[in-house]
């Protein structure tokens, strides 16, 4: 059986013309709500409808931290982003930064966790 997995090394995330030095990456975690639709005549199992809107979710990543706070990104309006995998597959969308949490350990590499909220549609290219 052929291996179809893609190695994560080489993934890039670009937002407001900044490409982040990523250590680990999660997301976007898409969700769609379920709407409970049972009625008095429903028996045995509840009925549900699928919502028509999809939530693009959040993106979270651990990055190398150089000591500079990303004030421009944190205060920017929703802007375009691009996630490019090592196999050149890409996802584009719009989002805004929702969190930045630096970690500065003694005698180790400084890192930060960045979070972004996706807004609008996501497109694979």
Question: Higher-confidence residue: 71 or 94?
Answer: 94
Rounded distance between C-alpha atoms, residue 79 and residue 6, angstroms: 28
Is the confidence at residue 1, as pLDDT, over 80?
no
Total domain count, the chain: 1
Q: Is residue 41 a part of any domain in this protein?
A: yes
Q: Is residue 110 a part of any domain in this protein?
A: yes
Q: Domain with 120 in it: what CATH number? A: 2.40.30.200
Is the confidence at residue 125, as pLDDT, over 90?
no
Q: Which domain holds residue 86?
A: 12-124
Q: Is residue 98 a part of any domain in this protein?
A: yes
Q: Is residue 37 a part of any domain in this protein?
A: yes
Is the confidence at residue 3, as pLDDT, over 90?
no
Q: Is residue 5 a part of any domain in this protein?
A: no
Banded model confidence at residue 6, pLDDT cuts 50, 70, 90: confident
pLDDT score at 115? 97
Rounded distance between C-alpha atoms, residue 7 and residue 65, angstroms: 23
- Quick one: tokens of 17? 């013309």
Q: Is residue 7 a part of any domain in this protein?
A: no
Q: Is residue 4 a part of any domain in this protein?
A: no
pLDDT score at 108? 96
Q: Is residue 6 a part of any domain in this protein?
A: no
pLDDT score at 114? 96
pLDDT digits (tens, 9 = 90+) for 35-75: 999 999 999 999 999 999 999 999 999 999 999 888 888 89
- Quick one: tokens of 122? 């996501």
Sign of CA dihedral 91, 95, 115, 108: positive
């Amino acid at each position: 059986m052929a291996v179809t997995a893609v190695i994560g090394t080489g993934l890039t995330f670009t937002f407001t013309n900044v490409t982040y030095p990523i250590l680990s990456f999660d997301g976007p975690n898409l969700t769609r709500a379920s709407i409970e639709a049972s009625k008095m005549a429903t028996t045995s199992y509840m009925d549900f409808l699928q919502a028509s809107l999809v939530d693009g979710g959040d993106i979270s990543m651990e990055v190398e931290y150089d000591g500079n706070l990303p004030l421009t990104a944190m205060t920017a309006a929703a802007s375009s982003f691009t996630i490019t995998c090592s196999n050149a597959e890409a996802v584009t969308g719009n989002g805004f930064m929702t969190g930045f949490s630096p970690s500065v350990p003694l005698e180790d590499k400084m890192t930060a966790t960045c979070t972004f909220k996706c807004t609008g549609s996501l497109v694979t290219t």
